[in-house]
Amino acid sequence: MTREAQFEEAHDGQAAFRLFLDSMARPGQLRRLDATKLAPPAGLAGASALLGLCLLDSEVSFHCAGFAPEVAEYLRVNTNSRVVPARDADFVFLGDSSRLDEVAVAKTGDPEYPELSATLVLQVSELSEEPLAGCRRVATSGPGVDGVRTFSVAGLETAFLTLLPFASE
Instruction: Label residue 167 by pLDDT band (50, 70, 90).
Output: low
Residue 9: per-residue pLDDT: 77
Residue 33: per-residue pLDDT: 83
The answer to whether the CB of 92 falls within 8 A of the CB of 65 is yes
Three-class secondary structure of residue 9 per DSSP: helix
**CA 128 – CA 152 distance, rounded (Å):** 5
Q: How many CB atoms sit inside 10 A of residue 54's CB?
A: 21
**CA 74 – CA 44 distance, rounded (Å):** 10
**112-162 confidence digits (pLDDT tens):** 888 899 999 999 989 999 998 888 888 888 888 888 988 999 988 888 888
pTM over 0.95: no
Question: Which domains does the chain show, CATH number per domain?
Answer: 9-124 (3.40.50.11310)
